[in-house]
Amino acid sequence: MKILECDAKNLLQKQGIPIPRGEVVTSAEEAAIVAQAIGQPVLLKAQIPSGGRMKAGGIHFADIPTEAQTIAAQLLGRELKGFTVTHLLIEAKLESAAELFLGATYDSRTRQAVLLASKSGGINVEQSGDVLRVPFSVQNPFLDYNGRETAARLGFSGPSLAQLGGIIAQIANLFLEWDATLLEINPLILSADGCWWVADVHLELDDDAAYRQTNLLEKLPLSLEWANRRSDFEQQAAQIDQADHRGVAGRLVPFDGNLGLIIGGGGASLTIFDAVLDAGLKPANYCEVGGNPSVWKTKELTKLILSQPQVERIAVIMNVVSNTRVDLVARGVIKGVLELGLDPQQVIAAFRVPGSWEDEGQAILTHYGIPFFGRETSIDQVVEAIK
């Protein structure tokens, strides 16, 4: 479950971690009033359950209240990363003497909790190559001493080290206490007066642990409301799935890439998605397709994915299927492309669905000049062929 920034900051503030002065608003008039009360330049931040808001145009600066009102009017009601903006966080703009990236998560490779820290705070910190990794126990508390030691490794000393060490220890311990899968502060700002402030926070909680976090969840009303919402893209996918009982083709998650995906098979779909990422390709969506969806359902799903303005091509990749007819998938995908007035040979980057009615499906694809990848070609080889 993704927690909105405003809710995550409220949680951190209750733990004594410094948060800039701010308030959530739902109208442009409220934005001006809050900006006036803060009495200094402010940030206006769209509250949606998604990262990358700065790049997407969801975070703006305003020097005076009237400017804040104008920007708020432009942001509220706008669609941002598949979500309609209904709430804005207005908070004081911080002047920084230094910025840090600080986070706690799980390392799936080493199967342990790990604290991440870097003096290269801000956008694209993960690409800096200068991230300190500190594994820590899930059974024993992360001590203040460990926090100070980490702060020293980052190059800090004196009073700023002491406060930073305490915040580092708190982040690690709260990550465990809240059953989080990610608790990230980016950036953590050191102000001119030597105080550390949380400028932005990204918090995700483990859904499977929700039963033991009821008290915490009660403090996250807006995030809970958003958790039950879907983006327009996800809603349209669900409507397609519900309109025809045959097969499954409705669970779609949007991303920012240019390669649309029709992939299937629960765990297999995750494997395929990972292969796409590992190959350096940029997926436009994640999805799960199976259970022999009808031609109509596959066609509408194809059209929906290709309707995203950034999508250039689509890849259809599944493991060997026994409960899904290859020819029906092929017919649906090609029909969807044709109904959009596109050339299947140019748009369908790869088709690998070996299994039932495979020969018939291959004949359809061959007719339109689309190469068919069978079971003799691995998923990784198919993905490499897309490049």
Query: For position 159, which CATH number holds?
Result: 3.30.470.20
pLDDT at 130: 81
pLDDT (tens digit per residue) in 306-315: 999 999 999 9
Residues 76 and 178 placed together within one structural domain of the fold: no
pLDDT of 110 > 90? The answer is no
pLDDT (tens digit per residue) in 266-311: 678 889 999 999 999 999 999 889 999 999 999 999 999 999 999 9
Banded pLDDT at 228 (limits 50, 70, 90): low
Burial 351-360 (b: 16+ CB within 10 A, else e): bbbbbbbbee
Quick check: 23 and 34 in contact, CB under 8 A?
A: yes
pLDDT at 116: 96
Residues 262 and 178 placed together within one structural domain of the fold: no
Banded pLDDT at 248 (limits 50, 70, 90): confident
Quick check: 145 and 109 in contact, CB under 8 A?
A: no
pLDDT of 237 > 70? The answer is yes
pLDDT (tens digit per residue) in 334-362: 999 999 999 999 999 999 999 999 999 99
Banded pLDDT at 226 (limits 50, 70, 90): confident
Domain annotation covers residue 1? no
Banded pLDDT at 52 (limits 50, 70, 90): confident
How far apart CA 134 and CA 146 sit, in angstroms, is 10
Give the position of tokens 């703006």: 60
Banded pLDDT at 125 (limits 50, 70, 90): low
Residues 181 and 286 placed together within one structural domain of the fold: no
pLDDT at 256: 87
pLDDT at 387: 78
pLDDT at 192: 87
Indicate the pairing of strand 348-352 with strand 313-318.
parallel
Give the position of tokens 């305003």: 62
Domain annotation covers residue 10? no
pLDDT at 307: 94
Banded pLDDT at 5 (limits 50, 70, 90): very high
pLDDT of 44 > 70? The answer is yes
Banded pLDDT at 113 (limits 50, 70, 90): very high
Domain annotation covers residue 15? no
Residues 284 and 361 placed together within one structural domain of the fold: yes
Grouping H, G, I as helix, E, B as strand and the rest as coil, residue 275 is helix
Residues 362 and 219 placed together within one structural domain of the fold: no
pLDDT of 60 > 70? The answer is yes
Residues 42 and 148 placed together within one structural domain of the fold: no
Domain annotation covers residue 5? no
pTM of the model as a whole: 0.67
Which phi and psi (to 5°) does residue 105 adopt? -155, -170
Q: What is the CATH number of the domain that holds 340?
A: 3.40.50.261
- Non-local (6+) Cβ contacts of 52 within 8 A are 81, 256
Q: What is the CATH number of the domain that holds 57?
A: 3.30.1490.20
pLDDT at 123: 57
Domain annotation covers residue 29? yes
How far apart CA 290 and CA 248 sit, in angstroms, is 5
Residues 107 and 63 placed together within one structural domain of the fold: no
Residues 113 and 59 placed together within one structural domain of the fold: no
The average confidence (pLDDT) of the chain is 92
Domain annotation covers residue 11? no
Residues 106 and 222 placed together within one structural domain of the fold: yes
pLDDT of 129 > 80? The answer is no
Of 52 and 350, more confident: 350
Angle between helices 267-278 and 379-386 in degrees, nearest 10: 40
Residues 182 and 249 placed together within one structural domain of the fold: no
In which domain, by residue range, is 327 found? 232-386
How far apart CA 3 and CA 200 sit, in angstroms, is 12
Domain annotation covers residue 348? yes
Domain annotation covers residue 16? no
Residues 259 and 369 placed together within one structural domain of the fold: yes
Quick check: 17 and 170 in contact, CB under 8 A?
A: yes
How far apart CA 261 and CA 276 sit, in angstroms, is 10
Give how many domains the chain has, as a whole number: 3
Helix, strand, coil shares of the chain as percentages rounded to 5? 40, 25, 35
pLDDT at 268: 86
Domain boundary among 175, 196, 227: 227
pLDDT at 251: 76
How far apart CA 170 and CA 15 sit, in angstroms, is 8
Domain boundary among 227, 258, 275: 227
Residues 377 and 305 placed together within one structural domain of the fold: yes
Domain boundary among 168, 195, 227: 227
